[in-house]
Structure 1
């Protein structure tokens, strides 16, 4: 069972298991219309500092860190948005159990800024929820 770290649990490795994912609806008024994003909060297995990161599922089934410069690009946002919950379910059902992760090179100073923002928000889940509120307002 994956109990969130803020509740005293251990963060599991990144996976394509739907039970480890969290889905957010970005529609500003009706939470059933989408677009939707899929996230996971986890620790990369090769991270020597074992720092928790938030990953977004891309439409091609690849997970990308929220700290990735690609995620920050306005034009690339659609790569992470799904039109329906059915699309998400179908994608996750067709993915192998082992997650494919695209590692992005992030300058240390940028990573430090993002980590500080996550800490100020109250943790990874609070940070992504704030981002979702911002995205809803921008729609």
Structure 2
């Protein structure tokens, strides 16, 4: 059982690769249990820009604007947040009020299905460089 830390060596950096140069935006994640937790069940957490580790199932179901707090547009933005981390991590490991894990997982699946369906239905257009 891993305990969540603020040590970046315990984290996984995800490069979403949609920036022009393929570097970034980034998401930082970590699997573990919050310090002092009696749970033996490891969970996955995402780092929010304020330095708080948040349950991924909670983060994935937030409105888009709030979800942007987990996406670092470039390495400098991510590094600035990581440099501020220290001591015991600040963790939000509670589900939203009135929501069960099953409801959150279903919401995530619905979102994934909707996005996948949009991708499958999209009509491709051949890319051409301007001026050619």
TM-score, normalization by structure 1: 0.61
Distance in 1 of aligned mates of 2:15 and 2:5: 21
Over 3 Å counting, the alpha-carbon distance change for 1:40 and 1:30 in structure 2 is farther
Aligned CA RMSD, in angstroms, stands at 3.1
Residue 72 of structure 1 and its aligned partner are, at CA, apart by 1.4
Residue 115 of structure 1 and its aligned partner are, at CA, apart by 7.3
Matched residue, 1:99: 89
Residue 29 of structure 1 and its aligned partner are, at CA, apart by 7.8
Gaps of 5+ in 2: 107-111, 120-132
Matched residue, 1:75: 65
The correspondence for 2:49, drawn from 54, 59, 70, is 59
Distance in 1 of aligned mates of 2:40 and 2:68: 29
Distance in 2 of aligned mates of 1:51 and 1:35: 29
